[in-house]
A = this chain, B = another copy of it.
Amino acid sequence: MLQDMEQYSSAKKTISMGILPLEQGYRLLERLTSYQVAMERVQVNITEDNQGKLIPLLDHGKLDFAVVRMDELDPEVYEFHPIYRDKLVLVYRNTQEGIPKEESVSLSQLSHLPFVLMSDESVLHNLCVRQFHRENFHPSVIYTAARHRYLLSLVNSGLGVTILPKALVNTDLFPDLCCKDLRGDMESLIGVVRLKHAHLSAGAEHLYEFFAQQGILAQEL
């Protein structure tokens, strides 16, 4: 796809793209960099923020498209293309006491553990709360945070355990963190998303298609 890019780069064009603060958890910026190198005349302005901030920007035409979680989006309003399926796992420090020995655990086995969770601006927060409801699980939540990196830091300090997509658990940064599968298939789908009837510039359309086709190369999990 990089071969046919040059035809689009005859004048400097600006594309506005939103992304969740996924950091190096997915190799999103590397994809974008490879695109940028091939398309030097395109300026991609990236807004990195929570889903709760990105969606209104998309709604008001401030973004051409965004890479966000599709789990709560209305298909009547948005057009989206899934690019990565996230599996949510239990995250704990290797010294954490009270972690069940089994390879995969159910929430009911975790009721004695203190939890730290994503804050309620996050789709991941809602995913967790819905699953807690379904399984009639009432965790002791001692802290919430808007950024997964801060959650990882809190778990790493031994303050509690959390539930996060496996791809976000950066064990380069926090080598003492461990993951364990959760029964009940907690998943989140990341997709490239645009307003259904929005007219995009040729450049924005091209970059949208680039992500829709190439997806995110996640780290080896």
Contacts and interface: CB of A to CB of B under 8 A. Distances in A.
Contacts of A147: 46, 48
A72 B198 CA distance: 39
Name the interface size band of chain A.
20 to 34
Contacts of A46: 145-147, 150
A119 interface: yes
A200 to B, nearest CB: 20
A59 B33 CA distance: 35
Interface string A131-152: 0000000000011111101100
A119 B45 contact: yes
Task: Name which of A143, A146, A172 has the most chain B CB atoms within 10 A of its CB.
Answer: A143
This chain's copy number in the assembly: 2
Contact of A154 (B36, B45, B157, B159): B36
Q: Would you call the interface of chain A mostly helix, strand, loop, or mixed?
A: mixed
A158 interface: yes
A45 B143 contact: no
A47 interface: yes
Contacts of A23: 23, 149
A33 B143 CA distance: 11
A157 B48 contact: no
A40 B13 CA distance: 49
Contact of A36 (B36, B143, B172): B143
Contacts of A47: 146
A23 B150 CA distance: 10
A34 B157 contact: yes
A43 B146 contact: no
Nearest to A172: B172
